[in-house]
Amino acid sequence: MATTRETDRIGSDHDAESDSGVLPALSRFRWLLGLVVPAGLVVVWHVLVATGVFAPHQLPEPLRVVGTLYAMGVSGELWGHISITLQRVFFGVLLGVSVGVVFGTVTGLYGLANDLLDPLLQSLKNIPSLAWVPLFLLWFGIGESAKVLLIALGAFFPVYLNLSTGIANVGDELIEVAEVYDLGRIESLRRVVFPAAVPSLLVGIRGGVGLAWMFVVAAELIAASQGIGFLMSDGRVLARPDIIVGSILLFAFFGNLSDLAVKGVERRVVDW
Amino acid sequence: MSSTGDHTLAVEGLTKRYGDTVALDGVDLTVEEGEFVAVVGPSGCGKSTLLRVLSGLEEHFEGRAAVDGVDVRDGGSDAVGMVFQEPRLLAWADVRENVAVGLPSGVDRGDAAARDRVDDLIETVGLDGFAGSRPSELSGGMAQRVSLARGLAYRPEVLLLDEPFSALDQLTKYEQQDNLLEVWAEQGTTIALVTHDVEEAAYLADRVVVLGGQPGTVETVVDVDAPRPRDRTDPELLAARDAITDALGL
Ligand SMILES: Nc1ncnc2c1ncn2[C@@H]1O[C@H](COP(=O)(O)OP(=O)(O)OP(=O)(O)O)[C@@H](O)[C@H]1O
Ligand SMILES: [Mg+2]
């Protein structure tokens, strides 16, 4: 322990030579502070269950949840659920983002298209995800397509909304530059309007991925025989709170992972 | 062709309103081919508005504004390039790409001659070494020079410049003024340049248009007869400066 601390100090002092001493080195570990409260909560959780405040059949001990997930991982049962859920989210996002890009571009560019479509899409956006499930089951059966389409629907709206306003609100200042230098319609879209709207698109995709996870839960809770959402409802049927909590943690993990991935892309693409 | 067909720029009775604000009120101005005209006047008197009208960015105005006899609203502004008062650079594009925005539409950005032209312009405005930088990495004066290089890349028949040197230090400003004069002499461009700097107006221009008041009207036009190439201390320039300063009411 002491040695690692020592080398850390030496290494970072070296980096931060021109900065103000040790503080920049500390600030590099600042994100660790975000783990303090969750870690505390896990401890409290453990104590509350261990001292009997919560009955184990309602809330399992943290270690029990980990053990359950581990056992399911070893037996191989877990991977099928995870991979089918990831697959649904992936294809749903792919479809929803693609359609969102098309609608967002068209309504962003053409006022008429916007006037025709935007009021409808704005109101559809407000329908809760669960409300779509029965209809989608009726239309598309309980197969994969119903779930992927439902997730696509969720991913669609943020992409559509952000891209549409992003394109429509590209500053007049830049549009005028394109006009004065006779870039022409195609070139000014390619070199000015679309690049200017990329940040909005990425904000939309981030929101879309977030909603995709909400919709996958809706789809899997109600009509699935596999997937993390199914695992969760199965946990309820079997009265296994460890499975339920484990599934929640899996959703949290993959939800965060996908958000970080999009954020990483965002940071690389929008680097100005 | 109308009576204004003989002039490169012809403005007659130009009145431009923004809502209740009258930005320009009955402005008359003609500029001949290859002439260098400077426009001076107090802040808010409509200098930028005049350039916006000439570059075809304003749809609605009263009076006439024509380039080579063609109304700016009927494509007359195609021959006009403009360097805006603000840099207006593409934030995601580097300096090279930003300058290349000015290349005329017939020019292929990819070919070697076009790249050389862009690199030459970057060097001319004193930004060699920054070709790959983004606008966020540039100072205000550097951004202004990128915007100037973009305007020069366009090689328009008529070049409008809205305070293109306002953010530059004295030395850089002198360099860029002389560089502009070189381009002007080489390419026979017709130039209208807006400035707050009386010395600059006198040094650069054949004629200085003094706008006054709000709404803007033409106060007077000062001819600068000093021979070229000019010496900044030429007594004729000093006399012209005094005349402009008087007209501005300073
Ligand atoms: N888009 C606009 N909407 C409303 N009013 C405007 C607009 N543009 C300019 N004006 C008004 O027109 C008048 C002239 O503005 P303009 O920008 O032409 O001034 P200027 O002479 O270029 O001033 P400066 O030297 O400060 O750049 C000002 O009173 C301004 O408020
Ligand atoms: Mg102005």
pLDDT at A22: 61
A198 touches chain B (CB under 8 A): yes
CA distance A196 to chain B (A): 8
Residues A131 and A39 in one domain: no
Q: What is the mean pLDDT of residues B183-201?
A: 96
- 3-state class (DSSP) for residue B37: strand
| ipTM of the modeled complex | 0.93
pLDDT at B88 over 90: yes
- Distance from residue B47's CA to the centre of ligand 1 (Å): 8
A52 in any annotated domain: no
Inside any domain, residue A191: yes
Nearest CA in chain A to B152: A181
CA-closest candidate to residue B26, choices B36, B16, B40, B38: B16
Q: Which pLDDT band, with edges at 50, 70 and 90, does B4 fall under?
A: very low
Give the pLDDT of residue A12: 41
A158-197 pLDDT, tens digit each:
999 999 999 999 999 999 999 999 999 999 999 999 999 9
Pocket test for ligand 1, best of B14, B21, B53 (most atoms within 8 A of CB): B21
Residue written as token pair 């840099």:
B87
Interacting residues of A109 by C-beta distance below 8 A, sequence separation 6+: A167, A168, A189, A193
User: Chain B residue with minimal CA distance to A184?
Assistant: B105
Residue ID of nearest Cα to ligand 1 atom 5 = B18
Q: Quote the CA–CA distance of B105 and A178 in Å, as a whole number.
A: 11
Q: What residues pair up with B162 in beta bridges, in sequence order?
A: B194
**Does residue A3 carry a pLDDT above 50?**
no
CB–CB of A69/A249 below 8 Å?
A: yes
Do A121 and A238 lie in a common domain? yes
- Is any ligand 1 atom within 6 A of the Cβ of residue B18? yes
Mark whether A86 and A211 lie in a shared domain. Answer: yes
B45 lines ligand 1 (CB under 6 A): yes
pLDDT value, residue A209: 97
Q: In the structure, what pLDDT confidence band is assigned to residue A23 with cuts at 50, 70 and 90?
A: low
Q: Is residue A20 over pLDDT 70?
A: no
Q: What is the pLDDT of residues A101-139, one digit of tens each?
A: 999 999 999 999 999 999 999 999 999 888 988 899 899
Question: Are residue A9 and residue A121 in the same domain, yes or no?
Answer: no
Report if residue A25 sits inside a domain: yes
Question: The CATH number of the domain where A237 resides is what?
Answer: 1.10.3720.10
Identify whether A254 is part of a domain.
Answer: yes
Q: What local confidence, expressed as pLDDT, does residue A14 receive? A: 43
Write the pLDDT tens digit of every residue in B151-171.
Answer: 999 999 999 999 999 999 999
Q: Is the CB of B47 under 6 A from ligand 1?
A: yes
In terms of domains, do A128 and A237 share one? Answer: yes
Q: Does residue A101 sit in the same domain as residue A147?
A: yes
| Same domain flag for A231 and A99 | yes
Length of chain A in terms of residues written? 272
Based on the domain organization, do A102 and A152 belong to the same domain? yes
* CB < 8 Å to B88, chain A: 173-174, 176-177
User: Are residues B81 and A196, on separate chains, in Cβ contact within 8 Å?
Assistant: no
* Residue A62, pLDDT above cutoff 90: yes
- CATH numbers and ranges of domains, chain B: 9-88+156-247 (3.40.50.300)
Q: Is the pLDDT of residue B93 over 70?
A: yes
Surface-to-core class of residue B200, CB atoms within 10 Å of its CB (0-12 exposed, 13-18 middle, 19+ buried): buried
Q: What is the mean pLDDT of residues B84-101?
A: 97
Residue B136: list chain A partners with CB under 8 A. Answer: 272
Give domain status of residue A242, yes or no.
yes
The answer to whether B87 contacts chain A (CB < 8 Å) is no
Write the residue with the smallest CA distance to atom 28 of ligand 1. B44
How many structural domains comprise chain A? 2
Q: Is the CB of residue B104 less than 8 Å away from at least one CB of chain A?
A: yes
How far, in Å, CA of A38 to CA of A162, rounded?
32
When pLDDT is averaged across residues B187-205 and rounded to a whole number, the result is: 96
Q: Which residue has the higher pLDDT, A58 or A177?
A: A177
Report the sign of the C-alpha dihedral through residues B234, B240, B243, B249, in that order: negative
pLDDT above 70 (res B36): yes
User: B105-122 pLDDT, tens per residue?
Assistant: 888 888 999 999 999 999
Expressed in angstroms and rounded, the spacing between residue B41 Cα and the centre of ligand 2 is: 10
Residue A56 lies in a domain: no
User: For residue B81, which of B121, B110, B113, B112 has the smallest C-alpha distance?
Assistant: B121
Same domain, A193 and A235: yes
**Structure confidence at residue B196 as a pLDDT band (50, 70, 90):** very high
Give me chain B's average pLDDT, please: 94
Judgement on whether residues A152 and A216 belong to the same structural domain of the protein: yes
List pLDDT tens digits, range B7-27: 999 999 999 999 999 999 999
Do the domain assignments include residue A262? yes
Whole-number Å distance between alpha carbons of B218 and B76: 23
- Average pLDDT over chain A, rounded to an integer: 90
Beta carbon of B81 within 6 Å of any ligand 1 atom: no
User: Range of A38's domain?
Assistant: 2-45
- Are A12 and A66 part of one and the same domain? no
Statement to judge: residues A261 and A234 lie in one domain = yes
